[in-house]
Amino acid sequence: MWDRLLTDCHIATMDPAVDAPFGAIEDGAIGIVDGRIVRVGRRVDLAGYRARTVEPLGGAWVTPGLVDCHTHLVFGGNRSDEFEQRLKGATYEEIARAGGGIVSSVKATRQASLETLIEGARPRLKALMRGGVTTVEIKSGYGLDVETEIRMLRAARGLGDSEEVRVVATLLALHALPPEYQARREAFVRLAAEQMIPAAKGLADAVDAFAENIGFTIDEVSKLFDAARMHKMRVKLHAEQLSNREGAALAARYGALSADHLEHADEAGIEAMAGAGMVAVLLPGAFYALNETKKPPIDLLRKHKVPIAIATDCNPGTSPILSPTLMLNMACTLFRLTPEEALAGMTREGARALGLQDEIGTVSPGKAADLCIWRANRPAELCYWIGHPGPERRIVAGLDA
């Protein structure tokens, strides 16, 4: 006997094996046992099965739970002053070079206790959950020393333990050069590779870096990725956001899970990503907040069949965004993705960007029953409404959340 049977619903499975837009099954049903999906199909085909609880959903649409695969949710303070500076004409690079940007978040984050970091991030996490997120990646990167980076990772884990959401933690070891290392870049890279990574093993699921002219060079990132490989940790990379540093190709050489941003990526980098089976994580919130004009090369990603994920990039400086459905709309309106591509980007491909494609991301038998129930007439409405408030209900591991 099944635990739950959801009936009288339409299902946007997002499963490519279902030959319909959005992988849709109309007038469908979903069987759940022990937190996992055991059967998905037309309601008439599941009519003979018994369940402890049978729940008619009144014609609602069911999707996989949303996956926000790139966030910086844990930090101290905020950077609303930089927002004002940008409105007066200052660029992101100018603010960073003047001591603002990432480094300006470091002081407040270093001073914050573990409890302060957790409770500061909790409202942001809850906002994403209300928007439909059932899995979220949380990066460190605002500590820039071993102690604070580890505290940030512990905060991410603490949020996952105390909220009905799956949390993936990432060590963003090379995010910015801390003030005390301004004349000692090589020493900081060694610190990240030789001390941060070993300390984070078991707390972090992957290692990340910022390859950029205001970040770190390809050679510096390579040293970090060599250390990650030695400790058997997967990597991902902030790449080609402000310029082309050939970060996408570097990430591909290390078999990275993803390269993220990619506004300045070229065809060689996209080809390398395709060959490595990587995911392109696009971040329309940062593009919007920075008032950028150069868009990611969507046509090249399509041409080379690189999976496209979408995420909020929620952070205090360049993407203070807490609405996953707004990202779906922006992916369509700013980057010209189709609604089906956008929704896949925050479900199936978001899961792939975290290496979790076998566990979550589609409504398919064998996967975790992480679901969202939406009062909508068509799946495209999730991208159509600007700032849609979120689903009627979330289900995480088979339970209402």
* Confidence at 328, pLDDT banded by 50, 70, 90: very high
Domains of the chain: 2-64+362-400 (2.30.40.10), 66-353 (3.20.20.140)
**Residues listed for the chain:** 401
User: Considering only CA atoms, which of 396, 387, 371 is closest in space to residue 12?
Assistant: 371
Residue type, 310: I
Q: Residues 63, 65, 66, 69: is their CA dihedral positive or negative?
A: negative
- Is the pLDDT at 288 greater than 90? The verdict is yes
140: left (phi over 0), alpha (psi -120 to 50) or beta: beta
CB 88: neighbour CB atoms within 10 A? 6
Distance separating alpha carbons of residues 40 and 365, to the nearest angstrom = 7
Average pLDDT of every residue of the chain: 96
pLDDT digit string, tens, across residues 132-157? 999 999 999 999 999 999 999 999 99
Distance separating alpha carbons of residues 119 and 310, to the nearest angstrom = 26
pLDDT digit string, tens, across residues 191-202? 999 999 999 999
What residue has token string 């014609």? 59
pLDDT digit string, tens, across residues 38-68? 999 999 999 889 999 999 999 999 999 999 9
Phi/psi of residue 64, nearest 5 degrees: -60, 150
DSSP state of 319: B
Q: H-helix or E-strand containing 170?
A: strand 166-174
Let me know the angle formed at the C-alpha of 173 by 170 and 177, rounded to the nearest 5 degrees. 145
Query: Which tokens sit at 6?
Result: 């959801």
* Confidence at 79, pLDDT banded by 50, 70, 90: confident
pLDDT digit string, tens, across residues 102-120? 877 898 999 999 999 999 9
pLDDT of residue 41: 97
Q: What DSSP string runs through 327-353?
A: HHHHHHHTT---HHHHHHHTTHHHHHH
